[in-house]
Amino acid sequence: MKIPIAHKSTQRQQRFFFLSMIVLFIPCMLYLDLNYMQFKDGLSRIPDIVYKMLQISFDELPELLAELLTSVIVAFLCIVISVLFSFILAFLVAEKTTPNRVLSNVLRVIIVIIRTIPTTIWVLLAVASMGFGPMAGVLGLLFPTVSFLVRVFAAQIDEAGKDTVEAIKAVGGTWWHVVFNGVLPSLSTTFLAMIAFKFEITVAETVILGMVGAGGIGMLLQDYISFYEFAPLMLGVLTVFTTLFLMELITNQIRLRIGRRAR
Amino acid sequence: MTTILSIQQLKKRYEGGSTALDGIDLQVKEKEFIAIIGPSGAGKSTLLRCINRLIDPTDGSITFLGQRVDQASKKQLRQIRSQTGMIFQHYNLIDRLSVLENVLHGRLGYMSSLAGIFNRYSEADKKEAIELLRKVGLENEVYKRADELSGGQKQRVGVCRALAQQPKLILADEPIASLDPKSSTTVMDAIHRNCTEQGIACLVNLHQVEVAKQYASRIIAIKGGKVVFDGPPTQLTEQHTYFIYEGKEHEMFHQTKEEVYA
């Protein structure tokens, strides 16, 4: 008889895990009614689509760029407005600076609720009430962006704020002094890095969210897909890729420089 | 001499159930320079922070210039705090701001929220702040960023910030605990000289008994949240110190050893 080497309960857990995966997989396949024929048909169409996509035409470039600009502007407006809101809210939420514990906890719960609802749903809600267009984009993105920024800002305040808060409180400063003369100067660069990071994410989001009616380049891409216009679609995808790539490079640079200066 | 600070039966229990202060009675007169000594965890820091309510006491009363600190409203508390300067062990400067701005923060207690946010310090305040910095030998560091300074320099900025408040009382919480012996002397000299010159009463937490004896006009020893000695430095005998630091003798020798090597 071979000598067993495994840890008994770990092994049992692993076996149980894989077994249940396999058992669940079969009913899931049946439920979705995945069809091999559809897969085969699609497969045969791929070379055709690739061929069509490779016929890049630059005719649509001006329109694409204009819409891309809209997307970036939507993201920018959204970030600026969110930053204004989240600055104040973050100081109300952060444990070290909140004037009232109850208020802080209520705000925390609200933020958690906002964050558990996906961004797409927020934009869809905004589209439903505001109608299609960039207005819905800015409004819909506002909720998740504000809640994200409040959470990170508050975490940073709590992490770095104790000494600063004590210093300004001890000289008899008001809550506003604690925030604007104490915490903000010591955290402004950290905040800037966070904002740059969130801006990059938001641009990516606006591109996708255009597809559900929030305006910008996403809307255009959605149109191309529905009308099987693969040539301009390819151009659109490339434009988006280039923009996001550049954006990432720029924000990385910003964060690096800020980080270096902070030290 | 009039009493400016009067503490009666001050108690502080933390949420975890530990008792930091267990009935402290203390009277501080004008111009007194009091050193509070005791082992770490004795409640020295809690006591100072209760006086300006950075920590809320559980029980007892604190009266500062005829005003009840423990019952003060938000506005009254601000006013009380503006008249008590505080010096911290870790300096608590705003690192990214200039030295001058840090000193000017001492004026915030006398300013409205808006005036503070937009840094509308008066020219007279600025002159005064620069003069204070000159007095502690930092005239060449006025426009440096606070984090460019050495520890001893930072603490002198902290002292200037407290002095800029033109306080009646200064609370210094282990002002030299993070400093080397040489900087310690500079900082203690700066605190002592300025307090004496301007007639400011001062409470300094220290754990080096020698330093306390050298500067203080009166020494208070705290152990287990209670006052176990209160009198002039000359009356503090070696038996007292051994009792105060019982079981924690190494803390007592800590500084003297460093001085030997320095």
Q: Is the pLDDT of residue A263 over 60?
A: no
Higher pLDDT, B183 or A58: B183
Q: Which residue has the tokens 């396999």?
A: A22
Residues of chain B with Cβ-Cβ distance to A261 below 8 Å are none
Q: Is the pLDDT of residue A34 over 80?
A: no
Distance from CA of B118 to the nearest CA of A (A): 9
Residue A152: Cβ within 10 Å count: 17
Residue A151 · residue A194 · CB < 8 Å? no
Residues of chain A with Cβ-Cβ distance to B78 below 8 Å are 172-174
How far is the C-alpha of B5 from the C-alpha of B25, rounded, in Å?
11
Cβ–Cβ contact B80 with A under 8 A: yes
Nearest to B94 among A174, A175, A185 (CB): A185
Compute CA distances A232 → A11, A222, B60, whole Å. 53, 11, 78
**A4 contacts: CB under 8 Å, gap ≥ 6:** none
Cβ–Cβ contact B39 with A under 8 A: no
* Whole-number pLDDT of residue A211: 83
Q: Is the dihedral of CA A9, A12, A18, A21 positive or negative?
A: negative
Q: A-contacting residues of B 171-230, CB under 8 Å?
A: none
Partnered with residue B28 across adjacent β-strands are: B5
**A220 contacts: CB under 8 Å, gap ≥ 6:** A63, A64, A67, A210, A236
- Contact: A189, B93; criterion CB under 8 Å: no
Q: What is the pLDDT of residues A242-258, one digit of tens each?
A: 999 998 898 888 878 87
Q: What is the mean pLDDT of residues A157-173?
A: 88
Distance from first CA to last CA of chain B, Å, rounded? 40
Q: Which residue is closest to B48 within chain A, CA to CA?
A: A170
Q: Which residue is closest to A186 within chain B, CA to CA?
A: B96
pLDDT band at residue A108 using 50, 70 and 90 as cut-offs? very high
**pLDDT cut 90: percent of chain A above it:** 31
Residues of chain B with Cβ-Cβ distance to A173 below 8 Å are 78, 105, 108-109, 116
Nearest to A177 among B84, B86, B113 (CB): B113
Q: What is the pLDDT of residues B242-259, one digit of tens each?
A: 888 877 766 665 544 444
- Contact: A170, B81; criterion CB under 8 Å: yes
Compute chain B's Rg from CA coordinates: 18
Q: What is the mean pLDDT of residues A172-193?
A: 89
How far is the C-alpha of B7 from the C-alpha of A7, rounded, in Å?
63
Residue B217 backbone dihedrals phi, psi, to 5 degrees? -90, -15
* Whole-number pLDDT of residue B258: 46
Q: Which residue is closest to A182 within chain B, CA to CA?
A: B94
Higher pLDDT, A256 or A112: A112
Q: What is the mean pLDDT of residues A80-96?
A: 92
How far is the C-alpha of B19 from the C-alpha of B222, rounded, in Å?
13
* Whole-number pLDDT of residue A261: 62
Q: Is the pLDDT of residue A72 over 70?
A: yes
B161-170 CB burial, b ≥16 within 10 A, e <16? bbbbbebbbb
Query: Which of B45, B56, B96 to probe by mutation at the A interface, max A CB count within 10 Å?
Result: B96
B15 is written with which tokens? 């949420």
Average pLDDT over chain A, rounded to whole?
87
- Contact: B86, A180; criterion CB under 8 Å: no
* ipTM, interface predicted TM-score of the complex: 0.85
**B39 contacts: CB under 8 Å, gap ≥ 6:** B207, B223, B244, B245, B247, B248, B251
Q: Which residues of A touch B (CB under 8 A)?
A: 163-164, 166-177, 180-182, 185-186, 188-189
Residue B11 backbone dihedrals phi, psi, to 5 degrees? -130, 145
Q: What is the mean pLDDT of residues A189-213?
A: 87
Q: What is the mean pLDDT of residues A127-153?
A: 89
pLDDT band at residue A9 using 50, 70 and 90 as cut-offs? confident
How far is the C-alpha of B262 from the C-alpha of B260, rounded, in Å?
5
* Whole-number pLDDT of residue B262: 41
How far is the C-alpha of A181 from the C-alpha of A173, rounded, in Å?
9
Q: Which residue is closest to A166 within chain B, CA to CA?
A: B54
How far is the C-alpha of A166 from the C-alpha of A120, rounded, in Å?
42
Residues of chain B with Cβ-Cβ distance to A188 below 8 Å are 96
Residue A141 · residue A215 · CB < 8 Å? no
Nearest to A174 among B78, B83, B165 (CB): B78
Task: Show the low-confidence residues of chain B (pLDDT under 50).
Answer: 255-262
How many CA atoms does the CB half-sphere of A232 hold within 13 Å? 19
Distance from CA of A193 to the nearest CA of B (A): 16
Strands B218-223 and B226-231: antiparallel
A213 secondary structure, DSSP code: T
pLDDT band at residue A154 using 50, 70 and 90 as cut-offs? very high
Lowest mean per-residue pLDDT among A69-78, A213-222, B233-242, B245-254: B245-254
Residues of chain B with Cβ-Cβ distance to A95 below 8 Å are none
Compute CA distances A119 → A48, A116, A142, A148, whole Å. 34, 9, 9, 11
* Whole-number pLDDT of residue A262: 55
Cβ–Cβ contact B87 with A under 8 A: no
Cβ–Cβ contact B94 with A under 8 A: yes
**A208 contacts: CB under 8 Å, gap ≥ 6:** A120, A218
* Whole-number pLDDT of residue B257: 44
Q: Which residue has the tokens 């008889």?
A: A1
Q: A-contacting residues of B 129-148, CB under 8 Å?
A: none
- Contact: B161, A173; criterion CB under 8 Å: no
Nearest to A180 among B88, B117, B161 (CB): B117
Cβ–Cβ contact B83 with A under 8 A: yes
